[in-house]
Amino acid sequence: MTEATKKTAPKSAAAKSPAASAPAAKPAEKKAAVKSDSVEKPKAGNKPNALQQPLQPSPELSAVVGEGKLARGEVVKRVWDYIKSNKLQNPSDGREILADDKLKKVFGKDKVTMFEMNKLLAQNLK
């Protein structure tokens, strides 16, 4: 045997062994189970983080998401629901939002990217 075949022979034998591939699959399954278990709702005594903090939307934003205090994530969700229900995404570029009259008051522009939208929504939350 040459040096090249000696080096590759053990690797191919290890790759074909079912015992070598089985232990690798088990840790992956454990990791998936750990991830799903690690995401928990905050306990009753814990203070909400910045994304869970209820904020008052501006009057212009309230016309889109509704009255009352909402968490930042809920505001974004409701704005996306409004955008999708009124088909305000640009058909040629889904990242772009074509504002209607209500959203123009919130955004201050006719067209906004989805990345700009979050920045503009933050300006309308207190």
Q: What is the pTM of this model?
A: 0.60
Lowest mean pLDDT among 6-20, 59-73, 110-124: 6-20
- pLDDT tens-digit map of 19-78: 554 555 555 555 544 444 444 555 666 776 877 899 999 999 999 999 999 999 999 999
Residue 70: phi and psi, rounded to 5, are -140, 155
Domain ranges of the chain: 59-123
Architecture of the domain delimited by 59-123: Orthogonal Bundle (1.10)
Cβ atoms of 117 and 72 within 8 Å: the answer is no
Q: Quick one: 48 exposed, middle or buried, by C-beta within 10 A (0-12, 13-18, 19+)?
A: exposed
Q: Quick one: 3 exposed, middle or buried, by C-beta within 10 A (0-12, 13-18, 19+)?
A: exposed
pLDDT at 17 over 60: no
Mean pLDDT over each residue of the chain, to the nearest integer: 78
**Dmax (CA) of the chain:** 80
